[in-house]
Amino acid sequence: MSLVKKLVRPEIQEQTSYHVPDATNLVKLDAMENPYALPETLKTELGAHLAQVALNRYPVPTYRPLKQKICQKFGVPSGFDVVLGNGSDELISMLSIVCAKPGATVVAPVPTFVMYAISAQLAGLQFVGVPLRADLSLDLPAMLAAIAQHKPALVYLANPNNPTGTWLSEDDVTQVLHAMKDIGFVVLDEAYQTFAPGTSMARLPEFSNLIVMRTASKIGLAGLRLGYMSASGEILAQVEKVRPPYNINVLTAAAAEFLLDHLPLFDAQAAQIRAQRSEMIATLSALNGVHVFPSQANFLLIRVPNSELIFNKLLENRILVKNVGKMHGLLNNCLRVTISTPQDNQLFVAALNDALK
């Protein structure tokens, strides 16, 4: 038996590594990125700012100035702090490590962001998915039943959800928080908050088991790899123990601190994307054979007659979307399409029209 076969945990040997398709020369509508680059003058200023960063030094691992700015700019309630992650992906894996007691369980509605299950399984936690309803809304009774049955250490609610784009009502969120009161933590993953009608951030003082997670990725800084989450000091103190001390590199920290002083630029881009979202919903809903699910995020989930065929035809026209048709039974023949610039969106609509013929 090879050493790898003998030594590596079987559940890791069974996993496949996260696949990201090559998007060279393609119109990239597969990863919910903000399509807008920084204005030239800001790029130059940022370059000058980053040139001053001491690359020979380790970061200061408290990240105090960056954390303070995040708290101040993103409505973290007074008295609450944040923990930083190398993207929210890393925050999710930190939470898995923190809660990975033998027999512990993670619950989330499915389909949802795949890293909740992957990260749980890698840490040796059991993952239980609670199927959404056929219209992709939350099945609250099923969720409450799963909480009562499995007593999960963690419940993830992505709001808006990926890959569906659906928005959970405040009432649904509240019911889950109450049901989990003496049982476990509820992670409200607000990765797409800038495109959404609300946030649970202000509710942190109300629920001692609430964790609110956000990322800089979807506002336009996916390449920086910066996520943050807020919760009670008691929870954050434990997560800090598993955070690699220098997980945010000096260039990311410096760029984020600089760019957080330019949030109106990113807010304006988000507003453009939201306006394009409304236009795309109207345009796509008018197409024969296309069903558009409601979305409060920067992408749309659409059902087409044959997602594999349409995905390949779009690719022939240099358009890359995400075929989620095989990801879960509820997503049969579905594609997930990022809302982009008006030009990219038009290219997509024209190619989709062609593909549907």
Ligand X SMILES: Cc1ncc(COP(=O)(O)O)c(C=O)c1O
Least distance (Å) from ligand X to the CB of residue 247? 12
Helices 64-73 and 250-259 cross at an angle (nearest 10°) of 30
Going by C-alpha positions, the residue among 172, 242, 223 that lies closest to residue 200 is 172
Quote the distance between the C-alpha of residue 30 and its chain's center.
13
The only residue of 191, 196, 221, 320 in contact with ligand X, by rule CB under 6 A: 191
- 3-state class (DSSP) for residue 106: strand
Least distance (Å) from ligand X to the CB of residue 193? 10
- 3-state class (DSSP) for residue 48: helix
Are the beta carbons of 82 and 230 closer than 8 angstroms?
yes
Dihedral of CA atoms 266, 165, 93, 321 in degrees, nearest 10, equals -80
User: How many residues sit in the footprint of ligand X (CB under 6 A)?
Assistant: 13
The only residue of 227, 307, 322, 333 in contact with ligand X, by rule CB under 6 A: 227
The only residue of 27, 28, 29, 32 in contact with ligand X, by rule CB under 6 A: 32
89 lies in the binding site for ligand X (CB under 6 A) = yes
Least distance (Å) from ligand X to the CB of residue 166? 12
**CB closer to ligand X out of 142 and 222:** 222
What residue number has its CB nearest to ligand X? 87
Distance of alpha carbon 80 from alpha carbon 192, whole angstroms? 21
Q: Considering only residues 129-158, where is the footprint of ligand X by CB under 6 A?
A: 158
**CB closer to ligand X out of 158 and 273:** 158
Least distance (Å) from ligand X to the CB of residue 260? 16
The only residue of 137, 162, 247, 323 in contact with ligand X, by rule CB under 6 A: 162
340 lies in the binding site for ligand X (CB under 6 A) = no
**CB closer to ligand X out of 300 and 351:** 300
30 lies in the binding site for ligand X (CB under 6 A) = no
Please, what's the b/e burial string for 150-173 (b: 16 or more CB within 10 A of its CB; e: otherwise)? bebbbbbbbbbbbbbbbbbeeebb
Are the beta carbons of 243 and 85 closer than 8 angstroms?
yes
- 3-state class (DSSP) for residue 20: coil
Least distance (Å) from ligand X to the CB of residue 352? 22
Compute φ and ψ for 22, nearest 5 degrees: -70, 125
The footprint of ligand X (CB under 6 A) covers: 32, 87-89, 113, 158, 162, 189, 191, 215, 217, 222, 227
